[in-house]
């Protein structure tokens, strides 16, 4: 069971989301005004579903504002499927897309996959010089300073760090981190890695190397 914030200006869509996800025991908090979300205590939620095309404040801008305040999965609900739109969404910190019109099974599967990834048990830490991944808390720190990563950014780090020195293609990273059901493509993975490397570089770390034409690897 999880508490999920669903944001969409169409009440009918919110009702459908609540009905579908309620079958899995999730509590759905419905919000039709994206501006109101800015004043919410987002720490109360386990996952956010956010429409893109909304009046007053579109989903892209909303996620840009709330991502620093919310470290759980964010999934866009959108009929916009152009590659540039997807890349923009991932670049703002989204973890996945659910395309409208969506099927109940697809929606439930994607939500379950992201919640499962957040809650899977861990009991160890990985350390590489000043870089340390706390697998229990799902935190990455450099020299004791915690780096604010999105769930997907952290998952990419953990996947690469568990296989140090091994080159991982974008497709391998996508499958391991998001699953094949995700709408993410290679461009989205590149965007996530780019954001991740900028955050690490800001604290003086560069553990992820690009292997041109092949993918990425965690540097020993």
Beta strands (DSSP E) in the chain are 3-7, 27-31, 47-51, 74-78, 96-99, 125-128, 131-134, 139-142, 145-146, 208-211, 215-218
Model pLDDT, residue 27: 93
C-alpha closest to that of 91 among 188, 200, 207: 188
Q: Where along the chain do its domains lie?
A: 3-119, 125-218
d(CA 95, CA 177): 10
Beta strands (DSSP E) in 35-184 are 47-51, 74-78, 96-99, 125-128, 131-134, 139-142, 145-146
Q: Is the pTM of this model over 0.75?
A: no
Q: What is the pLDDT along the chain (220 residues), one digit of tens a residue?
A: 899 999 999 999 999 999 999 999 999 999 999 999 999 988 889 999 999 889 889 999 999 899 888 878 999 988 765 556 666 777 777 888 888 888 899 899 989 988 887 765 555 788 888 899 988 888 899 988 999 998 889 999 999 998 888 999 998 898 888 776 666 778 888 888 999 999 999 999 999 999 998 999 998 6
Q: In CATH, what number does 125-218 get?
A: 1.10.10.10
C-alpha closest to that of 152 among 217, 96, 210: 96
Rounded (to 5) percent helix, strand, coil in the chain:
40, 20, 35
- Radius of gyration of the chain from Cα atoms? 17
For the stretch 139-159, what's the b/e string if a residue is b when 16 or more beta carbons lie within 10 angstroms of its beta carbon? bbbbeeeebebbbbbbbbbbb
φ and ψ at residue 170, rounded to 5 degrees: -60, -35
Helix 186-202 and helix 170-177, axial crossing angle in degrees, nearest 10: 80
- The answer to whether 3-119 and 125-218 have equal CATH topology is no
C-alpha closest to that of 93 among 50, 37, 175, 149: 149
Fold classification of 3-119 (topology level): Rossmann fold (3.40.50)
Q: Residue 4 forms beta bridges with which residues?
A: 28, 47
d(CA 103, CA 197): 35
Token duo for residue 82: 């152009």
């Amino acid at each position: 069971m999880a508490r999920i914030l669903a944001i969409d200006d169409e009440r009918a869509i919110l009702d459908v989301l609540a009905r579908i996800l309620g079958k899995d025991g999730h509590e759905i908090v419905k919000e039709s005004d994206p501006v109101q979300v800015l004043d919410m205590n987002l720490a109360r939620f386990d996952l956010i579903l956010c429409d893109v095309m909304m009046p007053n404040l579109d989903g892209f801008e909303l996620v840009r504002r709330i991502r620093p305040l919310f470290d759980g999965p964010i999934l866009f609900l959108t009929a916009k499927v152009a590659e540039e739109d997807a890349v923009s969404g991932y670049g703002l910190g989204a973890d996945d897309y659910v395309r409208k019109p969506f099927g109940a099974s697809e929606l439930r599967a994607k939500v379950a996959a992201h919640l499962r990834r957040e809650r899977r048990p861990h009991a160890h830490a990985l350390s590489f010089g000043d870089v340390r991944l706390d697998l229990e808390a799902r935190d990455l720190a450099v020299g004791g300073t915690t780096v604010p990563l999105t769930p997907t950014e952290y998952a990419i780090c953990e996947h690469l760090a568990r296989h140090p020195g091994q080159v991982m293609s974008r497709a391998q990273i996508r499958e391991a981190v998001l699953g094949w059901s995700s709408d993410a493509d290679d461009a989205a993975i590149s965007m996530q890695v780019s954001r991740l490397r900028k955050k690490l570089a800001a604290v003086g770390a560069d553990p992820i190397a690009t292997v041109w034409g092949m993918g990425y690897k965690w540097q020993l």
